[in-house]
Structure 1
Amino acid sequence: MYSLLFYSLLSAAAGVAIDKRTDVPAGYVAAPYYPAPHGGWVSDWSESYRKASLLVQNMTLAEKTNLTAGTGIFMGRCVGNTGSALRVGIPQLCLQDGPLGVRNTDHNTAFPAGITVGATWDKTLMRARGVAIGEEFRGKGINVHLGPSVGPLGRKPRGGRNWEGFGADPVLQAFGGALTVEGVQSVGVIATIKHLIANEQEQYRMYSLVQPGISSNLDDRTLHELYLWPFAEGVRSGVGSVMIAYNAVNGSACSQNSYLINNILKDELGFQGFVMSDWLAQVSGVSSTLAGLDMSMPGDIHTVPLATGSSYWMYEYSRSILNGSIPVDRLNDAVTRILASYLKLGQDRNYPRPNFDSNTQDAEGPLYPGALISPSGIVNEFVDVQANHAKTAKEVARDAITLLKNVNNSLPLSKNASLKIFGTDAEKTSDGINSCADQGCNKGTLGMGWGSGSARYPYLNSPIDGFKTRGANYTFYNTDSFPSNSNPAATDTAVVFVNADAGENYITVDGNPGDRTNANLNLWHNGDKLIKDVAAKYSNVVVVVHTVGQVLLEEWIDLPSVQAVLFAHLPGQEAGDSLMEVLYGDVSPSGHLPYTIPTSESNYPESVGLRGFEIGQPQDTFTEGLYIDYRHFNKAGIKPRYAFGHGLSYTTFSFSSPTITPVTKLTAVPPTRPAKGSTPSYPTTIPPASEAYWPDNFDRIWRYLYSWLDKTDADNAAKDASSSTKYPYPAGYSNVQKAGPAAGGAQGGNPALFDTAYDISVTITNTGSRSGKAVAQLYLQYPTGIAFDTPIIQLRDFAKTDELAAGKTQTVKMRLTRKDMSVWDVVKQNWIVPNVSGDYGVWIGESSDKLGWRCGTAAAKCASATSPV
């Protein structure tokens, strides 16, 4: 979501054309794909579509268009508020951020961020957090949760919003996203997986009067095997909504990219819910409708939302139906998709109404703050939705903590250790934990990044709070400069707290406009210098890092005094006690890195750097293809500082007795997809103009977006339908429904893709003296000699053990699906197993660079082996 304030600086008429463009490089094409596929053909959704279609058949034109768009910025309690159809029992729908908790409210939980969840490598916690988030959104009366985020994928290490997702790998993102969707929707809240697709940097992402949004140019195979993978799993989980991104893909804005929405999402992936725009990402009316967009948020035109109530849809949608510019069945399908999601999640049965206001913390205030004159009333009821969710939040924060270095078992700390604590990141800022809107500053303990993906803290349990609770023997120096009076003693342990922040583009923090442009991959607040200064005076130094992602450690990581390093990621409200449980050894650290930590930014290919300003449309071409993060490091033979998946423990584990069992016999091409089921019947007759007339004696609110037309406008639009001048439909347009691509057939794609090809198990034994949890990671290596270039290894599954006492053993199970073993064939437009009889290497170990077992699919046997990287 984008800033609402940014646009107050823009003052131009709606619909101003952006003429200057830059050509997309040759070979990157956004091919047209029409019409928008009708929903309802998947059996899991058939009943909700049946009910929805009965409602749609009884709705007027204006009632239908009223549900497809927001009523305008600041024109309701929630960040997004659709119109209603009260005559048929459908209220306004409330849409609200964000991925780590309810944004801009009170009595909520500030959960750990997505990147922290990814660092747990724990599927159970991923889903449990989703359930807790869903319960809070439902408790606040929110219909649609604007999360989880699986895009950006983390291609660019400096990308501002990487921390909202689960890590720089499509499979880790896929499990995190899909399990969050399942958890959120298990309590009746519609989840929204976002942002479709390839929105990998914050700067220049948006269309404006100055230039079009940045174009992410990527080939079809890279799209499928990396960036689309987590979206496919979210759709397979039954997600009710998908949010498109701000940027363009291959030159076509995501909001009107028919190849992405109609072809990939709705047809190939079989998505049955509704597609919404990101806030102010819609850049056209009819074009976006035909391309498959179902809901416009927040409803305003992207260039002038704070003007006079201009919209591409609402009343313009009604006009476009009456004059024949948009086929009637396109509107009916969009409304049916919205209502089917609403009904499938049971929101027609005693679902609470919103009881908070994201615009104010006061109990009473204007009902429509964006209006010139607004009625007032009770807007906040201060409903406490926290329940016992702090427990889940704490477990996630704790089990994500990643031990990178621990010389001579410096950790855990002894109960009576003499501690000197340095760095402002150790304590809450005196300005107040919510003093900066949307956490748009870096002061005190860093628990989350900034932007629409943030939430207000109900409280912040800081590391200093944690030390106090422990009764620790400590002295705290609340400064990011080394103090001259710390009086080092030989028995002291110095604990240094440092951080690195990032966020969304509408807020600039310390010169960083979302992306880390000013900070690069360095620590903030001179963190590197603080660590070096402390290490020069103390012989036992522990470094704790709160960070949005990768940071460079080279200035100090090998200093003899730096004995231990912990990444606590972004822990949310439970930063303190979760850290204490690890520092003092109540539990062993069990987090693993969800990205690679480099030795230098030069480790990365130039193509993943941030793109700067370009006259015309900025072009961001993904020339590295499949080779991002560890895939790139392995191909280039670059040894990182810490590999993807790395994480130490206070105990040790052995992996033994792996097994691989064939389950489904594979073929080069998947079995033929199932045919689409039936869909609701949509009329093609243009409704009478009277269905869009303003109601008599209606009291209009200035800037509120309505779907009605003045009688003269509606009648003239109806006359235009019989005119010889017709709307110039885009190239390739057709209104004949397609059978669908071969790779489709169900939610997520051809259901055969998700058949288990092999079951894999491995026995894990705690060989140390302390309890702990281990993570088994499974990577696939394709056979040599195939016709496709593939990364050396690719993550395909993982499993985390229970807490194992010393000497205890647990066998964990993983699997490989047909899709896991396939590649996307851009010619056949299908998933292909490139060598059915070939010997695929199934590597198992503790991290991407510590893989001690290889199972071969040809012989279905496993043996100890040297890691392939």
Structure 2
Amino acid sequence: MGAEFRRKGVNVLLGPVVGPAWRIVKGGRNWEGFSADPYLAGSLVAQGVQGVQSQRVITSTKHYIANEQETNRVPEDDVAAVSSNVDDRTMHELYLWPFQDAVRAGSANIMCSYQRINNSYGCGNSKTLNGLLKTEIGFQGFVVSDWGAQHTGVHDALAGLDMGMPSAKGYWESLLVDAVKNGSVPESRVNDMATRIIAAWYQVHQDTDFPEPGVGMPSNLFVDHPKVEGRSPDANAILLQGAIEGHVLVKNERQTLPLRSPRKVSIFGYSANTPDFARPIEGDKFPAWQVGLAPVWGLPNQDQTPIGSRGTLWGAGGSGAITPATFTSPQTALVEKAAKDRFTLLQDLTSSSPVVDPTSDVCIVFGNAWATEGHDRPALQDDYTDNLINQVANQCSKTIVVLHNAGVRLVDGFVNHPNVTAIVFAHLPGAESGHALTSVLWGEANPSGKLTYTVAKQESDYGALLNPTPANGSKDPQSNFDEGIYTDYKQFEKNRVVPRYEFGFGLSYTRYDYSNIAINGPSGNWASEWPTGRVVSGGQEDLWEMIATVTFTLKNGGHADGAEAAQLYVRIPGSRAKQLRGFEKPFLAAGQGTQVSFALTRRDLSIWNTGAQKWQLQRGQYEIYVGRSSSKLPLKTYLTI
């Protein structure tokens, strides 16, 4: 991605996303980020930042901070934007955590968010910008507003905003000069803004041999401009592999998958073929986007369809949406596969009550779950798709369900049907959607994807975190984060609710055996409860000091080669739920075993002490778990500090 942006002359890539952090299950922008878990999101955002900036393009890690719903995200008429009311410990242990990883990885820009945080707008909140970001975790780069998220001049300048976008007209420009002259804004603050912006430019070496800014991506795409090819053939294999690993197999009974030389395959459902127009849902009112000017103020709260009924989803909606230059739909890839392997492919992609050929060896039903910026999702399932699946399953003894889902999609409307023998969450696979799917279905690739969120049995299992907080007639909407750090799988464990599919779950075509757990530690400066190091980019440097090492043996005990995402969880003293604190994904040939190692740092084992305003490494016994998902953890050991 970084290389493609650089070829187009783009200085700043507006991503990656770690806010929203998936607090609200129906959140319309959850799909843009990595995970509902802060440790996983932080680990992945760090790699994303390093990868993009290695190509000399600045990353704008966003949306800072506690930006957890689309409903009332911006002020409208006389109604203020919703206020995310977060306590200090939750802010540090959940919402700030992945941003801290991004800053440590060198993200040269942070984008502040639309909504309010503890009743102060995100781009004018001195506590979050000056206090947490620039002081506590040592951010050296510049803060840019989300498009139109600047609301004042002097106040926002003093609060830590460094750049207003798409412009600061009406707030800064000549008015900022006047503010310096009359003493409202110190000249040193303006110098700091400029220094941070220029430092970011130098940090990624845009001062040398960088294309003309915007050469292939002008501010207005409707004017003549050079046609610059940003793509590279070298990326094709990466696109395919990424799509494959994004497929998560959650059900596979009666040896349905992988497919073994079927003679007749029947496919059904609206999400199999390429959409017949650019926007994959009818009635979507999200306006066209011009690069450099996002018309966010034109996004009223409104009802939204739960599916993309006109075709498959390669991505979801909003400013992060793209249309691939080339695309292979599941239908196209299945036609190619049928021609190559010489089996009969029957299709009915439009009927809501299809008639199934009784001689079909297997049936595949395609559905999806749509999400977009500007709206929160109306539901986590839809009756049309559930009924379609059941209609086919009533007539076909081996029915495979493939869902292209932009977030959580409930399955209890059909999961227990005896003829629904396999379910695949294909998510948003991008350009190689079809080829990735056929690779997984026929076993050319062994599925290794794991869920980065929890799938409940019913919507009510998510409790207060299901829906966004509505204004309910108030001009001052408030969203209280009373659950603290207990979101997603931690919420389920705390409340003792059994999910349909837990966080970290995903099936394979082989079996992995876990054994021989051992722990080496504590080590390092564990004798001190508090970090003592100097503040560098990311916070106090000894937060990343290794305290203990956990090792175990992982063996592929089946007959297919594959990769397993092994996971480590820690129950910190006093906590009511385990937390992810490590993952590794080794590739193992059939019968092969390996030793896997996890390093636990001071930060991994600490809590935020609100009184001391520091990370505290508590004295006591820590429970360490290793396994294949958040609730399937066959190995356990202890660490005493």
Q: TM-score, normalised by structure 2?
A: 0.93
1:456 aligns with 2:323: yes
Q: What secondary structure does 1:409 align onto? A: coil
Q: Find the aligned partners of 2:590 and 2:465 in 1 and give their Cα distance.
A: 47
| 8 Å Cα contact 2:570/2:625 also seen in 1 | yes
Match of 2:602 in 1: 818
Instruction: Report the CA distance between 1:540 and its aligned residue.
Output: 0.7
Mean CA deviation greater in 412-421 or 325-334: 412-421
Provide, for residues 193-225 of structure 1, a one-character-per-residue CA deviation record: whole Å limited to 9, x for no partner.
100111111010112433211000010001000
| 8 Å Cα contact 1:206/1:214 also seen in 2 | yes
Question: Relative to structure 1, is the Cα distance of residues 480 and 446 closer, same or farther in structure 2, using a 3 angstrom cutoff?
Answer: farther
| 8 Å Cα contact 1:670/1:753 also seen in 2 | no
Q: Percent identity?
A: 39
Match of 1:570 in 2: 428
Q: What secondary structure does 1:812 align onto? A: strand
Instruction: Report the CA distance between 1:573 and its aligned residue.
Output: 1.1
| 8 Å Cα contact 1:216/1:248 also seen in 2 | yes
1:242 aligns with 2:113: no
1:830 aligns with 2:620: no
Match of 2:416 in 1: 558
Residue 638 of structure 1 aligns with an amino acid whose one-letter code is V
1:626 aligns with 2:411: no
Instruction: Report the CA distance between 1:250 and its aligned residue.
Output: 0.6
| 8 Å Cα contact 1:433/1:460 also seen in 2 | no
| 8 Å Cα contact 2:74/2:82 also seen in 1 | yes
Q: Find the aligned partners of 1:635 and 1:825 in 2 and give their Cα distance.
A: 21
**Aligned pair partner of 1:258 in 109, 112, 126:** 126
| 8 Å Cα contact 2:218/2:225 also seen in 1 | no
Question: Relative to structure 1, is the Cα distance of residues 607 and 546 closer, same or farther in structure 2, using a 3 angstrom cutoff?
Answer: closer
Question: Relative to structure 1, is the Cα distance of residues 442 and 227 closer, same or farther in structure 2, using a 3 angstrom cutoff?
Answer: farther
**Aligned pair partner of 1:487 in 345, 357, 362:** 357
Provide, for residues 464-522 of structure 1, a one-character-per-residue CA deviation record: whole Å limited to 9, x for no partner.
121122125311112151224x3322x421100110011111xxxxxxxx2112xx111
How is 1:181-330 mapped onto 2 (pairs within 5 angstroms)? 181-300=49-168, 310-330=169-189
Q: Find the aligned partners of 1:566 and 1:671 in 2 and give their Cα distance.
A: 45
Match of 1:845 in 2: 627
| 8 Å Cα contact 1:433/1:459 also seen in 2 | no
Match of 2:236 in 1: 390
1:427 aligns with 2:273: yes
Question: Relative to structure 1, is the Cα distance of residues 358 and 611 closer, same or farther in structure 2, using a 3 angstrom cutoff?
Answer: farther
Provide, for residues 395-450 of structure 1, a one-character-per-residue CA deviation record: whole Å limited to 9, x for no partner.
11101211101002210112334111001101102335789866996531111110
Q: What secondary structure does 2:436 align onto? A: helix
Q: Find the aligned partners of 2:71 and 2:622 in 1 and give their Cα distance.
A: 41
Provide, for residues 575-626 of structure 1, a one-character-per-residue CA deviation record: whole Å limited to 9, x for no partner.
0101111100012110000000001111122255211123212100011111
1:147 aligns with 2:15: yes
Q: Find the aligned partners of 1:396 and 1:192 in 2 and give their Cα distance.
A: 22
Q: Find the aligned partners of 2:125 and 2:596 in 1 and give their Cα distance.
A: 42
Residue 496 of structure 1 aligns with an amino acid whose one-letter code is V
1:855 aligns with 2:637: yes
Instruction: Report the CA distance between 1:298 and its aligned residue.
Output: 0.5
Match of 1:794 in 2: 579
| 8 Å Cα contact 2:9/2:217 also seen in 1 | no
Q: Find the aligned partners of 1:231 and 1:530 in 2 and give their Cα distance.
A: 42
1:808 aligns with 2:606: no
Match of 1:344 in 2: 203
Residue 790 of structure 1 aligns with an amino acid whose one-letter code is S
Match of 1:59 in 2: none
Question: Relative to structure 1, is the Cα distance of residues 200 and 442 closer, same or farther in structure 2, using a 3 angstrom cutoff?
Answer: farther
Match of 2:299 in 1: none
Match of 2:298 in 1: none
Match of 2:533 in 1: 673
Q: What secondary structure does 1:231 align onto? A: helix
| 8 Å Cα contact 1:166/1:173 also seen in 2 | yes
Provide, for residues 365-423 of structure 1, a one-character-per-residue CA deviation record: whole Å limited to 9, x for no partner.
2xxxxxxxxxxxx4242324334212111111101211101002210112334111001
Q: Find the aligned partners of 1:427 and 1:849 in 2 and give their Cα distance.
A: 36
| 8 Å Cα contact 1:399/1:590 also seen in 2 | yes
Question: Relative to structure 1, is the Cα distance of residues 359 and 747 closer, same or farther in structure 2, using a 3 angstrom cutoff?
Answer: closer
Instruction: Report the CA distance between 1:668 and its aligned residue.
Output: 4.5
| 8 Å Cα contact 2:607/2:615 also seen in 1 | yes
Mean CA deviation greater in 341-350 or 466-475: 466-475
Instruction: Report the CA distance between 1:762 and its aligned residue.
Output: 2.0
Matched positions, count: 613
| 8 Å Cα contact 1:413/1:584 also seen in 2 | yes
Q: Find the aligned partners of 1:438 and 1:457 in 2 and give their Cα distance.
A: 16
Q: Find the aligned partners of 1:234 and 1:582 in 2 and give their Cα distance.
A: 32
Q: Find the aligned partners of 1:617 and 1:313 in 2 and give their Cα distance.
A: 27
Residue 780 of structure 1 aligns with an amino acid whose one-letter code is V
Q: Find the aligned partners of 2:497 and 2:288 in 1 and give their Cα distance.
A: 38
How is 1:733-744 mapped onto 2 (pairs within 5 angstroms)? none
Q: What secondary structure does 2:127 align onto? A: helix
Instruction: Report the CA distance between 1:179 and its aligned residue.
Output: 0.6
Question: Relative to structure 1, is the Cα distance of residues 442 and 259 closer, same or farther in structure 2, using a 3 angstrom cutoff?
Answer: farther
Q: Find the aligned partners of 1:358 and 1:423 in 2 and give their Cα distance.
A: 39
Q: Find the aligned partners of 2:232 and 2:26 in 1 and give their Cα distance.
A: 33
Question: Relative to structure 1, is the Cα distance of residues 434 and 543 closer, same or farther in structure 2, using a 3 angstrom cutoff?
Answer: closer
| 8 Å Cα contact 1:523/1:552 also seen in 2 | no
Question: Relative to structure 1, is the Cα distance of residues 661 and 290 closer, same or farther in structure 2, using a 3 angstrom cutoff?
Answer: same
Q: Find the aligned partners of 1:561 and 1:598 in 2 and give their Cα distance.
A: 21
Q: Find the aligned partners of 1:231 and 1:349 in 2 and give their Cα distance.
A: 28
Match of 2:344 in 1: 473
Mean CA deviation greater in 809-818 or 640-649: 809-818
Q: Find the aligned partners of 2:526 and 2:552 in 1 and give their Cα distance.
A: 23
- Structure 1 unmatched ranges of 5 or more: 1-132, 301-309, 366-377, 506-513, 675-744, 784-788, 860-869
Instruction: Report the CA distance between 1:313 and its aligned residue.
Output: 1.2
| 8 Å Cα contact 2:459/2:466 also seen in 1 | no
Q: Find the aligned partners of 1:209 and 1:431 in 2 and give their Cα distance.
A: 33
Match of 1:402 in 2: 248
| 8 Å Cα contact 1:299/1:312 also seen in 2 | no
Q: What secondary structure does 1:840 align onto? A: strand
Instruction: Report the CA distance between 1:858 and its aligned residue.
Output: 3.0
Q: What secondary structure does 2:633 align onto? A: strand
Higher relative contact order at CA 8 Å, sep ≥6: structure 1 or structure 2? 1
1:766 aligns with 2:556: yes
Q: Find the aligned partners of 2:51 and 2:30 in 1 and give their Cα distance.
A: 22
Q: What secondary structure does 2:621 align onto? A: coil
Q: Find the aligned partners of 2:226 and 2:385 in 1 and give their Cα distance.
A: 41
Residue 573 of structure 1 aligns with an amino acid whose one-letter code is A
| 8 Å Cα contact 2:262/2:361 also seen in 1 | no
Question: Relative to structure 1, is the Cα distance of residues 384 and 746 closer, same or farther in structure 2, using a 3 angstrom cutoff?
Answer: closer
| 8 Å Cα contact 2:25/2:465 also seen in 1 | no
| 8 Å Cα contact 1:765/1:808 also seen in 2 | yes
Residue 541 of structure 1 aligns with an amino acid whose one-letter code is T
Q: Find the aligned partners of 1:806 and 1:763 in 2 and give their Cα distance.
A: 15
Provide, for residues 211-257 of structure 1, a one-character-per-residue CA deviation record: whole Å limited to 9, x for no partner.
21100001000100001100000000011000001000110001110
Q: Find the aligned partners of 2:570 and 2:453 in 1 and give their Cα distance.
A: 18
How is 1:558-637 mapped onto 2 (pairs within 5 angstroms)? 558-613=416-471, 614-637=473-496
Provide, for residues 614-640 of structure 1, a one-character-per-residue CA deviation record: whole Å limited to 9, x for no partner.
321210001111111100100111100
Q: Find the aligned partners of 1:415 and 1:216 in 2 and give their Cα distance.
A: 54
Match of 1:499 in 2: 368
How is 1:76-87 mapped onto 2 (pairs within 5 angstroms)? none
| 8 Å Cα contact 1:276/1:293 also seen in 2 | yes
Mean CA deviation greater in 491-500 or 227-236: 491-500
Q: Find the aligned partners of 1:410 and 1:178 in 2 and give their Cα distance.
A: 38
Q: What secondary structure does 1:421 align onto? A: strand
Q: What secondary structure does 2:271 align onto? A: helix
| 8 Å Cα contact 1:626/1:791 also seen in 2 | no
